[in-house]
Chain A
């Protein structure tokens, strides 16, 4: 019986010590630090693939006018650069105005993709982009270049700056 009591006591002590340690870790933010260490241990290829996947998702959300998904993918202080320099609210406002748009935008074809990891949780992506706008029998193919600056915030990659250029000489209209 004595042995059992001592065993229980030790287990209780271990539990208390573990609880206190957990409290310490949570309170001081050490758990996120450990999580960051694990994230930092990812290979550059893995991080590059994540950024590329995020960019594909970003383009898909824009082309399908998915405001909710894009809001999550774009940093709250993110910027989109097109003919206008837009903050996130403006981007979402413009996208919302396309609800019920009778035309269809194809998924963006990405070529010569170049991802660079500049610092922990900071990356850029650059690629040639081609997309087609179809309205009934008519379609318009647009080619250009796109670049994105991505930042890992709250555990996932978010678009901080997104820029698109258009190569007017390669615009094709199909009837």
Chain B
């Protein structure tokens, strides 16, 4: 009797399990478009010098990586210092790829250009960037942001 029950379970259970697993997964996976919008918002806030709102997007343990490694407070400080006399613009992102790593963690890679003008000096830098976003308490926050400046950037006087 038990054997028949187990065999019957073998035949019936898998589709039920499969349906449950796939429906949970499908309903909770992040939308890559949402992550791209978040990343664009991050770049816009940085360009606009809205450093307080930028800080709200950063997790307490956030790290920014370029030639140096900066924590959250240092990153906000760099943003404030940069906008004290300089203007920043960024070009639209390209070559973007979004990796959904779990229901609450997403990685994103892209290329963008950043133009910084400080008085008569202008720096035009192209970077390949990586971001790791984590959803905590229902909202997405940045855990890690890395920028690799591509060789060939120029600093010139206008």
A16 cross-chain contacts in B, Cβ below 8 A: 3
Asked whether, in the complex, the Cβ of B144 is within 8 Å of the Cβ of A167, the reply is no
- A169 with B67: in contact, given A85-B111, A163-B146 (CB under 8 Å)? yes
Complex Cα distance, B101 from A118, in Å, reads 10
A119 cross-chain contacts in B, Cβ below 8 A: 101-105
Q: How many residues of B contact A (CB 8 A)?
A: 41
Asked whether, in the complex, the Cβ of A20 is within 8 Å of the Cβ of B107, the reply is no
Which of the residues B10, B66, B129, B148 comes within 8 Å of A24, measured between beta carbons?
B10
Binding site secondary structure of chain B: strand
B10 cross-chain contacts in A, Cβ below 8 A: 20, 23-24, 27-28
- A165 with B6: in contact, given A118-B105, A122-B105 (CB under 8 Å)? no
Binding site secondary structure of chain A: strand
Query: Smallest CB–CB gap between A26 and chain B, Å?
Result: 9
* Interface pick from A3-11, A45-53, A75-83, A91-99: A75-83
B104 cross-chain contacts in A, Cβ below 8 A: 118-119
B residues 92-122 near A (Cβ < 8 Å) are 95, 97, 99, 101-105, 107, 109-111
Contact with A along B135-148 (1 / 0, CB 8 A): 00000000110111
A-B contact pairs, 29 of them (CB 8 A): A13-B3, A16-B3, A17-B2, A20-B3, A24-B10, A29-B17, A81-B109, A82-B128, A85-B95, A85-B97, A85-B109, A85-B110, A112-B69, A116-B61, A118-B143, A119-B101, A119-B105, A126-B63, A126-B69, A145-B146, A149-B132, A149-B144, A161-B109, A161-B130, A163-B65, A165-B149, A166-B148, A168-B67, A169-B67
Q: Name 9 extra pairs, CB < 8 A, besides A23-B10, A81-B128, A121-B102.
A: A24-B10, A27-B14, A29-B17, A118-B101, A119-B105, A145-B68, A145-B69, A149-B130, A167-B68
